[in-house]
Amino acid sequence: MPVLEGAKSTLEARFKASLGAFTLDVDLSLPAKGVTALFGHSGSGKTTLLRCIAGLHKAQGELNVSGEYWQHAEYFLPVHQRPLAYVFQEASLFPHLTVKRNLEYGFKRILPQVRQISFDQAVQWLGLEAMLDRMPDKLSGGERQRVAIARALLTSPRVLLMDEPLAALDHRSKQEILPYLERLHEMLSIPILYVTHSPDEVARLADHLVLLDRGKVIASGSLSETLSRIDLPVLVGEDAGVVIQARVAELDARWHLCRAEFDGGSLWLPGDGLKVNDKIRLRVLARDVSLALDKHEDQSMLNLIPASVVELADNARPGVVLVKLKAQSTHFLSRLTARSVDKLHLIPGKKVWLQVKSVAVLE
C-alpha cells in the first residue's frame, strides 16, 4: 500500500534565474505522484532546476506544492524548512557512523506524529537488513546509494529530488539498484523529480518526462506520449523508441515465451520469471521495427501488428526517416531509409504491418 501520501494536485514551478552566462526560464506543472524525469544534454539546466526547487538557488519565480506556496514574489521558504529530501550523485554518508546510525540521523529529527514511513519499511524497501551494522567504507557504491535513499525517505519528505543518483556507479551497481528504485516508484505517493541523461533510466523509471535544452522546457508530458514525438532532436538518436504498458496474457512453456497484451495488439517475448496477469513495461526501439504493406507470416519474426502511419520526419542521419505509427491508442516508431519510405509510398494514414524484431522488458 502506498505511503508518504502527497497531494492530489500538482507541483507548479515557474523560475527565472541567471547564473553567469546561463539563464533558466521554465514554467512547469508536474504530477503530484510518480516519477518525473528531467532529461537533456549536459548543461541543459536539469540540476539548476532541481536546486531552484530545493531552494539552494534563490531564483525569481514561484513554487507551489500541493496548493502551498514555498516561494513567490514576496515570500521564500528557507531550504531547511522545505519538506523535501535531496539525493545527490555521491551518497555522502557519515563515515564514522554505521548504516543504522546513518539512517537514524534524519529519522530521529522527525516528530513521531508526522512520520509517514517507519524505519523498518525503509530498510526493507532498500534491502538493507544485512548491512545495518556495517560501516560506509565496507559498502559498495550501489549499497551506499541505497542507504542514502533510505536516509532521505526517513525524513518523510513531501517531494523527493534525485540528482543523477546512478551517475557515479558502474554498470553492475546500476543494475543492482534499479529494482529498488522501481519498488519506490510503486510504493510512494509523492512526486519524485529524477535528473538523468540516461535514456535507459528514463524508459525504466519515469511516468512523466520533461525535456530541457539551454535552460528552457522544450517538451513536457506523459512518458509514452513524449517519447513517441519525432520533432524533438534530443529524442531521435540511436535510442529513439517507445515505452508500452502491457499485461502478460499467455505463457508458452514449450518455447519459454510469453504474450504481452496492450491496446492495439500483443507482442511475444522471453517469458522467464513472468506470470499471467503481470503488469510489465516494454521498450521497443525504432531501429527494431520494420514495415510491410501486407502481413507476411512466412518469416522468423513473430510480432506482426496492424497499424497506420501518423507522421514522418527526417532523421539526423542523411537518407534516414523516422516514422511515427499508431496501433489503436499505442504509438510506435520505426527508423527506415528514405529509399524504403519511397518504395512503400508511406504517407500519413497509410495502413501497414509492423514487424517488431526485438522487445525489452523493463520491469
Is residue 4 assigned to a domain? no
Best CA proximity match to 201, nearest among 245, 171, 228? 171
Best CA proximity match to 62, nearest among 12, 8, 7, 10? 12
Residue located via cell numbers 523529480: 193
State the helix-helix crossing angle for 99-107 and 141-153, rounded to 10 degrees: 20
Same structural domain, 108 and 209 = yes
Residues in CB range of 237: below 8 A, 6 or more apart: 316
**Grid cell in block for residue 208:** 512523466
pLDDT at 5: 53
Q: What is the CATH number of the domain that holds 278?
A: 2.40.50.100
- pLDDT tens track for 287-342: 999 999 999 888 888 899 999 999 998 876 789 999 999 999 999 999 999 999 99
Strand partners, 29: 12
Same structural domain, 291 and 156 = no
What's the whole-model pTM score? 0.89
Based on the number of CB atoms within 10 Å of its own CB, is 239 exposed (0-12), middle (13-18) or buried (19 or more)?
Answer: middle
Alpha-carbon dihedral sign for residues 131, 132, 135, 136: positive
Best CA proximity match to 34, nearest among 143, 184, 173? 184
Range of the domain at 294: 241-361
Torsions phi, psi of 261, nearest 5? -95, 145
Is residue 293 assigned to a domain? yes
pLDDT at 4: 52
Is residue 233 assigned to a domain? no
Same structural domain, 93 and 56 = yes
Residues in the chain: 363
Element (H, E) at 47: helix 46-54
Is residue 234 assigned to a domain? no
pLDDT at 363: 65
Is residue 136 assigned to a domain? yes
What is the spatial distance between Cα 174 and Cα 178, in angstroms, rounded to a whole number? 6
SS3 191: strand
Same structural domain, 219 and 310 = no
Same structural domain, 195 and 56 = yes
Q: What is the CATH number of the domain that holds 130?
A: 3.40.50.300
Same structural domain, 256 and 302 = yes
pLDDT at 279: 92
What is the spatial distance between Cα 254 and Cα 231, in angstroms, rounded to a whole number? 43
Same structural domain, 201 and 245 = no
Best CA proximity match to 85, nearest among 58, 111, 110? 110
* Low pLDDT (below 50) residues in the chain: 1-2, 6-8
pLDDT at 183: 84
- Please give the single-letter amino acid code of residue 58: K
Best CA proximity match to 185, nearest among 128, 241, 240, 223? 223
Same structural domain, 184 and 66 = yes
